[in-house]
Amino acid sequence: MDNIDKNTEEAPKATWREWMGLGALSLAAFMLSSDMTILFLAMPSIAADLAPSATQMLWIIHIGELLAVGFVLTMGRLGDKVGRRRLLLIGVTVYGLGSLIAAFSTAAWMLIVVRAFLGIAAATVVPSTMSLLRNMFFNSKQFSVAIAINLSALSAGMALGPPIGGLLLDHFWWGAVFLINVPIAIGLLATSPLLSEYRNKDGKRLDMISVLLSSLGLVTLIFGLQEIANTGFNMLYGGSVVIGIAAGILFVRRQMNSEAPLLDMRMFRVTTFKVSLITLMLILLATGGGEMFFAQYLQAVAGLSPSEAGLLLITPALLSMAGTLISPVLTRWMRPAYAMVLSLLIAVSGALLITLTAHDAGILILIIGASLLAFGRGPTMTIASEQIIYSVPQERAGSASAMTDVSSGLSYALSIAFIGSFGMIVYRGALASSLPYGVSSEVEYKAMESVGAAVAAAEEFLEMLQAVQSSFTVAFQSIYGVATIGLLILVMIIVWKLRHVKKED
């Protein structure tokens, strides 16, 4: 790495131009993160208007995220080649136009196709946004603040997405949730002169076989895991996972022998890069499935409506944003590893509070636990993301940034698939041993399939309802118990591997 990276005291400080450019990049992050949460709310209206089948409903929701993760590694490398700002502007333009078309879709298949284009466009925006910060903020302290602000925009989008979506859907048709992306895209294009360009002029062509292998591997792997989590195991989804793993192995072998790799495997020799990437993956793996169960618990056990549950979940999202923003302050006082450990211990306390009190505590205690977990997770993920991008040479920042998105998407899918499945196994086991006498086989089958169907089927059968709620609470506690153990293991890994890394490293 160059001297600017090594000696932060001599690195030039950013001007108002870079800070204004950061605002534009944060706007793009906000747009992408709020889009998915708004889409969840709009699905009932979309279903009523376009009448999609159950399969089409799933594809409308998942295809964008699936292709975003599948193409992000390719787009990260492509941005290094053709110019990060140029690729960002192309992606934002496609995203804005795609959102305009999606708003006026007249059939389910049309919306699925447009959502696919939106996913590919999102794959260009994410790595370009993060890697552009690397050549806008050379001073490490300012770079920390820039990363924190950009990631807080993601948290803000997730927190404000539901209320914004609800407001739009109350007053307009479902297409309005897509139309709000158009002025954001226009604003980002208008402010693009504030962004500095970076291009790696190594002259090497993009390896299209590597592009094919990486996209095939990621798309089939995540598709298989998502569908197994949604509908259970079958040969098609299991085969998809096997194809994904096989393509991933071939991709890695090709990168190790290629003169122009899509993913430079030498980055994994850097301990800070490798451990920070593992940190991101383990956090999401340990906590992703719990978030899904928490939302279900508020409705199935606590008896809240979807809108009431959504409003309550804004608090943990806002605390996550606050945790993200304080990470630069923490790393000024202590080494990055100690800041990560301190914040993770706060997250552990939140997960442990939920584990110990779910049976007897009120909603307020559970929200406090979820807020502590979200607040503690924020600084760790921010510092890890900063170290991933800052620990590699400038010409590999795009690929490093793409790896953060790949690891996040893959870990979240794994968490939903495996931690979520573990929770359902515990729920079904507890319910099987506590079902009251006289329950019909049809009601029992529905109860075993999902807690929502179980609550609906048991509305007039009090003993059955109590059994369902008690069984789901046991599963809920088990999920957060696993999260507690996983986060404590991560604390030990960080202390072991990163305790000697200083801010200026």
Looking at 53-139, list the stretches that DSSP marks H as alpha helix, in order from N- to C-terminal side.
54-82, 84-103, 108-134
Residue 3 binned pLDDT confidence (cut-offs 50, 70, 90): very low
Q: What is the mean pLDDT of the chain?
A: 80
- Residue 430, SS3 per DSSP: helix
**Selection from 106-115, 164-173, 291-300, 426-435 with the highest mean pLDDT:** 106-115
CB 382 within 8 A of CB 320: no
CB 189 within 8 A of CB 347: no
- Rounded distance between C-alpha atoms, residue 250 and residue 235, angstroms: 22
DSSP 395: G
DSSP 418: I
Distances (CA, A) of 430 to 435, 447, 474, 487: 9, 12, 7, 26
Q: What is the pLDDT of residues 28-51, one digit of tens each?
A: 888 887 776 677 667 767 877 888
Residue 2 binned pLDDT confidence (cut-offs 50, 70, 90): very low
Residue 406 binned pLDDT confidence (cut-offs 50, 70, 90): confident
**Selection from 257-271, 280-294, 384-398 with the highest mean pLDDT:** 280-294
CB 371 within 8 A of CB 334: no
| Half-sphere exposure for 441 (CA within 13 Å, toward CB) | 0
Cβ neighbors of 405 (< 8 A, separation 6 or more) are 68, 69, 72, 126, 127
Instruction: Determine the pLDDT at residue 6.
Output: 45
Element (H, E) at 288: helix 271-300
Looking at 137-260, list the stretches that DSSP marks H as alpha helix, in order from N- to C-terminal side.
140-171, 176-179, 181-190, 208-231, 235-257
Q: The tokens of 370 are what?
A: 């979820």
Q: For residue 268, is pLDDT > 50?
A: yes
Instruction: Determine the pLDDT at residue 7.
Output: 47
- Rounded distance between C-alpha atoms, residue 238 and residue 165, angstroms: 35
Instruction: Determine the pLDDT at residue 200.
Output: 67
DSSP string, 330-380: HHHHS-HHHHHHHHHHHHHHHHHHHHHHTTT--HHHHHHHHHHHHHHHHHH
Element (H, E) at 497: helix 462-498
CB 249 within 8 A of CB 221: no
Rg of the chain's alpha carbons, rounded to an integer? 23
Task: Among 70-79, 124-133, 457-466, name the one with the lowest average pLDDT.
Answer: 457-466
Residue 246 binned pLDDT confidence (cut-offs 50, 70, 90): very high
Q: For residue 362, is pLDDT > 70?
A: yes
Instruction: Determine the pLDDT at residue 460.
Output: 62
- Rounded distance between C-alpha atoms, residue 156 and residue 133, angstroms: 19
Q: For residue 190, is pLDDT > 70?
A: yes
**Selection from 25-39, 69-83, 329-343, 457-471 with the highest mean pLDDT:** 329-343
Q: What is the pLDDT of residues 272-290, one digit of tens each?
A: 888 888 998 899 888 887 8
Give the pLDDT mean for 372-380: 91
Give the pLDDT mean for 378-407: 78
Element (H, E) at 477: helix 462-498
Task: Among 108-112, 144-148, 192-196, 395-399, name the one with the lowest average pLDDT.
Answer: 395-399
What's the predicted TM-score (pTM) here?
Answer: 0.76
Instruction: Determine the pLDDT at residue 4.
Output: 39
One-letter-per-residue 3-state SS of 66-83: HHHHHHHHHHHHHHHHHC
Q: What is the pLDDT of residues 476-491, one digit of tens each?
A: 899 999 999 999 999 9
Q: What is the pLDDT of residues 18-27, one digit of tens each?
A: 888 888 888 8
Instruction: Determine the pLDDT at residue 1.
Output: 39
- Residue 455, SS3 per DSSP: helix
**Count of CB atoms situated within 10 Å of the CB of 258:** 16
Residue 202 binned pLDDT confidence (cut-offs 50, 70, 90): low
Q: What is the pLDDT of residues 310-356, one digit of tens each?
A: 778 788 888 888 888 888 888 888 888 899 999 999 999 999 999 99
92, 94, 90, 87: which is closest to 197 by C-alpha? 87
